[in-house]
Structure 1
Amino acid sequence: MKPTLVILAAGMASRYGSMKQVQSFGPSGETIMDYSIYDAIRAGFGKVVFIIRAQFASQFQSIFEPKLNGRIQTDYVFQELDLFTNDYDYAADRTKPWGTAHAVLCAKEVVKEPFAVINADDFYGRNAFEQAVNFLQTSCDGRTFGIIGYDLTATLSEQGPVNRGVCQLNSQGDLANVTERINIARVNGAITCEDGWFPQTLAEHTQVSMNFWCFDPVFFEMTAKQFADFLQEAGKELKSELFIPLVVDQFIQQGGRVKVIPINSTWFGVTYKEDTPFVQQQLQQLIQQGEYPVKLWD
């Protein structure tokens, strides 16, 4: 059975200022998602599921269906506030989505096989998808999940500070936890993290999560239970969110294993509009190296 790729594309780009998920970056109008899906198809994924907002459904389908029809199966899932809330009386004026874990949970009815989760606006590289498929087909089960890890130094932005999930590893080299660190930037040659937590200087080769996960479908039931608890604790707050690392942390605490999957891919992304020229330059270099055609979907 071929694994499925779940793409998180329902979030708001507060620092970017527009809907960067469908912005063109490639020379022929490709989005970053186009490159991820292209890599996923040639790596062996059998289906792609877009987690989006209902109001953007027609826009997404008009962009991706002409390209992907006949190449890979597609599904579109809407992350709505009332999904999986079981009539919980959350704040009437809440507009913010419930977070990445809830976004994945929204795909429960269309994903029955091992699956990977990625962000819509991150470029992960071909090898990341190849290694993910291999892991999902050979090693992933109800007690073993996976995460693609990247060196922190390769995920910084020259345009301003970034937030990253810093991976702590156990003695076996597996994931122990992911700690969200904010305002990470290179200052006077050192990578600093001015968020009030320690350490405030991070090592160059610290492993970080760029939200590329490999899961067994049991993840859905785990998340549903944790989301119910989350609502009771924080559901009245306007901006509370349940993130994937929180579900993974509980999985580890209950005896689960999360393998850190080694890769040799390049990562880049768009946190700020000013990142756009750099992303376009990186894509052009990969095209010149023969990694991608000038037109992905010819």
Structure 2
Amino acid sequence: MTLLLMAAGSGSRYGKLKQFDDLGPNGEFLMEFAIFDAIQNNFDQIVVITKKENVSFLEEHLSARLPKKIQLNVLAQELTDLPDGVTFTGERKKPWGTAHAVWTARNVINGPFVVINADDFYGQAAYRKAAEFMSSNTDAYALLGYTLKDTLSEHGSVSRGVCEVDGDNLKSVQERLKLVQKEDKVIDEDTQLEFTGDEQASMNFWVCRPSIFDKIESEFRLFLKDEDRIANSELYIPLMIQEMLQANEIEVKCIPSGGDWFGVTYASDKEKAMYSLKEKSDLGKYPAPIWN
């Protein structure tokens, strides 16, 4: 089983490369807690997608810490990584998007894999449930969901993908852009829609299959023929999965994670993240230091 971490962001709102900030009680990166949780649940391959200039540093940093039995691949997401027979001669500064980041790993992943953001903490239960799902399902995809009201911010509105489910089947994920808690309800100030807060929200913890690579490549070829999309858009992994779902190409389960989530989007999030990681270490949920 493989854990793929997307760590190619620029951290423009955070003020630095948050993927490599020392948030753990012994200077660990946030992604190291995700990697530890995955390894504890029998994941045996770690794939990190990052910027080209960070590959050597991150490869050296992680290879010195991870158990020798773990396969580590640190790959660069590059604008020049295009489908065979396709060329791009225009100008573009930002990456092609999260779907392209996943596609970057097409040559090193051969089985089921989990995709997460490297700058989010997902909780230990999520990796256990993902591992159990991959062990008992051969074809289905999955989304590990988080209770909507537990993902809100006390500092203002947030954007969240709110899940529509039928039993344990994911039907769709609708992006809501300005969610806030108001008394006992969650309101989307953009549309005035109300939610109970008990809905499942997507925090980009996906269980995927290698079939996603063909879908991304197909969409990427279309994307590169559209000058407007090249100039203004990106390829997003949730959209790829939703298109496959709506075309009845795949089945996607929505699994409540049963864990706590937090992210570090803004610099003000750092103190809370550091406190939470130290508290978990003090309670014995993680060794300190995390690698021995």
- 17 and 182 in structure 1: CA distance in 2 versus 1, 3 angstrom threshold: farther
Which amino acid is 2:234 matched to?
Answer: E
TM-fit CA distance, 1:73: 1.2
The residue aligned with 2:151 is: 155
Aligned residues of 1:140 and 1:146 also touching (Cα < 8 A): no
* 1:6 alignment partner, SS class: strand
Aligned residues of 2:110 and 2:210 also touching (Cα < 8 A): yes
The residue aligned with 2:280 is: 286
1:67 aligns with 2:65: yes
Report the Cα distance in structure 1 between the residues aligned to 2:126 and 2:22, rounded to whole angstroms: 22
Report the Cα distance in structure 1 between the residues aligned to 2:49 and 2:155, rounded to whole angstroms: 28
- 77 and 70 in structure 1: CA distance in 2 versus 1, 3 angstrom threshold: same
Matched residue count: 290
Report the Cα distance in structure 1 between the residues aligned to 2:264 and 2:110, rounded to whole angstroms: 31
Which amino acid is 2:32 matched to?
Answer: D
* 1:150 alignment partner, SS class: strand
Report the Cα distance in structure 1 between the residues aligned to 2:227 and 2:201, rounded to whole angstroms: 27
Superposition map of 1:135-150 within 5 A: 135-141=133-139, 144-150=140-146
TM-fit CA distance, 1:69: 4.8
The residue aligned with 2:176 is: 181
- 35 and 123 in structure 1: CA distance in 2 versus 1, 3 angstrom threshold: same
* 2:225 alignment partner, SS class: helix
* 1:40 alignment partner, SS class: helix
Aligned residues of 2:37 and 2:124 also touching (Cα < 8 A): yes
Report the Cα distance in structure 2 between the residues aligned to 1:122 and 1:46, rounded to whole angstroms: 21
1:263 aligns with 2:262: no
Query: Of 148, 157, 162, which aligns to 1:166?
Result: 162
Report the Cα distance in structure 1 between the residues aligned to 2:175 and 2:143, rounded to whole angstroms: 15
The residue aligned with 2:8 is: 10
TM-fit CA distance, 1:287: 1.7
The residue aligned with 2:214 is: 221
Query: Structure 1 length normalisation: TM-score?
Result: 0.91
Q: Aligned-residue CA RMSD in angstroms?
A: 1.9
Summarize deviations over 1:32-76 as a string: whole Å, max 9, x none.
111000000010101000011111112212321211151521001
* 2:65 alignment partner, SS class: helix
* 1:205 alignment partner, SS class: coil
* 1:232 alignment partner, SS class: coil
**Deviates further, 180-189 or 105-114:** 180-189
Report the Cα distance in structure 1 between the residues aligned to 2:243 and 2:274, rounded to whole angstroms: 38
TM-fit CA distance, 1:187: 4.8
Report the Cα distance in structure 2 between the residues aligned to 1:186 and 1:277, rounded to whole angstroms: 22
1:87 aligns with 2:86: yes
Which amino acid is 2:57 matched to?
Answer: Q
* 1:273 alignment partner, SS class: coil
Summarize deviations over 1:71-122 as a string: whole Å, max 9, x none.
5210011111121254343631x11111111110110000011111010011
Summarize deviations over 1:3-32 as a string: whole Å, max 9, x none.
111000012223212100011111100111
Aligned residues of 2:200 and 2:256 also touching (Cα < 8 A): no
Summarize deviations over 1:182-238 as a string: whole Å, max 9, x none.
23333566433333x452x33311211111110111111111112222233356543
Report the Cα distance in structure 2 between the residues aligned to 1:266 and 1:80, rounded to whole angstroms: 33
The residue aligned with 1:272 is: 266
Summarize deviations over 1:134-191 as a string: whole Å, max 9, x none.
11121141xx211100011111223343222221113x33111112222333356643
**Deviates further, 68-77 or 46-55:** 68-77
- 235 and 147 in structure 1: CA distance in 2 versus 1, 3 angstrom threshold: same
Aligned residues of 1:125 and 1:267 also touching (Cα < 8 A): yes
Aligned residues of 2:2 and 2:43 also touching (Cα < 8 A): yes
- 248 and 198 in structure 1: CA distance in 2 versus 1, 3 angstrom threshold: farther
Query: Structure 2 length normalisation: TM-score?
Result: 0.93
TM-fit CA distance, 1:282: 1.3
